[in-house]
Amino acid sequence: MVRGFRYFIHRWAHWEYWPDWLVFAPIAPYYLYLAVRAKSLFFFSSSNPTMEYGGMAGESKMDVYSLIPSEYLPKTILYKKGEELLKIRTWMNEEYIDYPIYVKPDKGGKGMGVEIINKWEELEKYAQEMPLDIICQEKIDFPNEVGIFYIKYPNSEHGIISGMVGKKAVKVVGDGQNTLEALILNNPRFYFQKEYLFKKFNHLLENVIPRKEEITLSSIGNHARGSEFVDLTSMVDEKLEQQIDSISNKIPQFYFGRYDIKYNSLEELSEGKNFKIIELNGAGSAPTHIYDPNFSLLNAWKVLTRHWKYLYDISIMNQQRGIGFMSFKDGMRMIKINNQFIELLEDYQRKSWKSE
């Protein structure tokens, strides 16, 4: 009871844990102002013309992967619901891929449904329970993950990196006295993920973790799954910006969005070595460096509104090039469809966590 109250206070004292609607509500009038200027609530749809809805919501991840040169990607396959599951086993054999592999729904976001699969039986269970088409990817073993937000005006040859975020894996360190369950409950960041973590580690919860022993609770670099985000924007230099520019120029009509990249070192990434793009998000992506615990809410609002202005400018420029905004009817349809995906994934997670 005391811990729950203390963490309740902690959650509301740290805005990074607030629901999105609460974070965005105070600055929503600025978006509406931009929409009035554009004469469209859905002006963002022209921002990235080769992505469905500009990459705002509900787009197929596999369709986005198809835009990216294959040398930058992990080996990836799309499994459509109802297909023969042996398709994945054949793919793994042909590509010389061993377990573990990453799986995730083709549509959705915020880390919902993203899992690491360690054996065939787990894959069968996941495919049976996941209500959407599935993307399977080889596991990339580079030790670091970064989110890089990239912006380029359609009339420019070069773009900029507007923000960069590092993602810390979710780890606990044993003290030789507390069980894994206690270590999870004693940390607010882990406590907020306890339902998922208790399901994942139910066979270890009562074990006392030896002193200095580390247990990685999650290697999925997503804030909604408990990862701590660190603002690395100050480490962006001209060489890294040129490298991301070079990659982006090979992606047709990509102007606004965030790369999620696994890499070995920033130096090698700047040289175009030892990295893989694990996801590319378009108009709906956030400059996630704002979720660094040291980032103030006021500064976060400044960054968000600045990025909305970038999004507006790019969309207007593309409109002037003949790429129209989607209609209000289509925009409402996008929202409806995306909400259906979210509901399906939330239902999947509730059932999945309760089944263990």
Q: How far apart are CA 192 and CA 225, in angstroms?
A: 9
- Structural domain range at position 194: 170-218
In a domain, 349, yes or no: no
When the pLDDT of each residue in the chain is averaged and rounded to a whole number, the result is: 90
Residue 102 shares a structural domain with residue 21: no
Tell me how crowded residue 90 is: count the other CB atoms within 10 A of its CB. Answer: 12
d(CA 235, CA 163): 10
Q: What pLDDT does 279 receive?
A: 94
∠ CA 63-66-70, rounded to 5°: 150
Q: Same domain, yes or no, for 48 and 132?
A: no
Write the CATH number for 95: 3.30.1490.20
Predicted confidence (pLDDT) per residue in 157-215, tens digit: 899 999 999 988 778 888 888 888 888 888 877 877 777 778 777 887 888 888 888 88
Instruction: Supply the pLDDT for residue 191.
Output: 78
Asked whether the predicted pLDDT for residue 47 surpasses 90, the reply is yes
pLDDT digits (tens, 9 = 90+) for 313-339: 999 999 999 999 999 999 999 999 999
- Quote the pLDDT of residue 182: 83
Q: What is the C-alpha to C-alpha distance for residues 113 and 101, in angstroms, rounded to an integer?
A: 14
CB atoms within 10 A of CB 95: 11
- Are residues 86 and 203 located together in one domain of the fold? no
In a domain, 126, yes or no: yes
The answer as to whether 152 is a domain residue is yes
The alpha carbon torsion through 190, 195, 199, 204 (nearest 10 deg) reads 40
- Tell me: do 86 and 67 sit in the same domain: no
Instruction: Judge whether residue 5 has pLDDT over 80.
Output: no
Maximum Cα interatomic distance, the chain, rounded to a whole number of Å: 66
For residues 194 and 54, membership in a common domain is answered with no
My answer on whether 147 and 25 are in the same domain is yes
Give the CATH number for residue 60.
3.30.470.20
For residue 248, give the amino acid letter: S
Question: Does residue 272 form part of some domain?
Answer: yes
Encoding tokens for residue 195?
């339902």
Cis bond before residue 293 (omega within 30° of 0): no
- pLDDT number for residue 221: 57
Q: Are residues 229 and 261 in the same domain?
A: yes
Structural contact between residues 306 and 20, judged by C-beta atoms closer than 8 angstroms:
no
Encode pLDDT of 17-41 as tens digits. 888 899 999 999 999 999 999 999 9
Same domain, 145 and 29: yes
Judge if 225 and 105 occupy the same domain. no
Task: Please calculate the CA angle 81-196-340 and round it to the nearest 5 degrees.
Answer: 40
Average pLDDT over residues 54-67: 94
Domain count for the chain, please give it: 3
Whole-number percent of the chain with pLDDT over 90: 69
3-state secondary structure the chain: CHHHHHHHHHHHHCHHHCCHHHHHHHHHHHHHHHHHHHCCCCHHHHCCCCCHHHHCCCCCHHHHHCCCCHHHCCCEEEECCCCCCHHHHHHHHHCCCCCCEEEEECCCCCCCCCEEECCHHHHHHHHHHCCCCEEEEECCCCCEEEEEEEECCCCCCCCEEEEEEEEECEEEECCCCCEHHHHHHCCHHHHCCHHHHHHHCCCCCCCECCCCCEEEEECCCCHHHCCEEEECHHHCCHHHHHHHHHHHCCCCCCCEEEEEEEECCHHHHHCCCCEEEEEEECCCCCCHHHHCCCCCHHHHHHHHHHHHHHHHHHHHHHHHCCCCCCCHHHHHHHHHHHHHHHHHHHHHHHHHHHCC
Same domain, yes or no: 214 and 180: yes
Q: Higher confidence at residue 60 or residue 11? A: 60
Judge whether 107 lies within some domain.
yes
Q: Is residue 351 part of a domain?
A: no
pLDDT of residue 111: 79
The reply to whether 185 falls in a domain is yes
- Claim to verify: residue 103 and residue 156 sit in the same structural domain: no
Residue with tokens 């109250």: 5
What pLDDT is stored for residue 140 in this prediction?
92
**Is the per-residue pLDDT at 353 higher than 70?**
no
Same domain, 157 and 135: no
Both structure tokens of 138: 């080889």
What are the pLDDT digits (tens) for 91-124? 999 999 999 999 999 998 777 888 889 999 999 9
Contact 256, 317 (CB under 8 A): no
Rounded Cα–Cα distance for residues 288 and 290 (Å) = 5
- Whether the per-residue pLDDT at 287 is higher than 70: the answer is yes
Residue 184: inside a domain: yes
User: Taken in order 279, 115, 15, 21, is the CA torsion positive or negative?
Assistant: positive
CA distance 34 to 40: 9
* pLDDT (0 to 100) of residue 222: 66
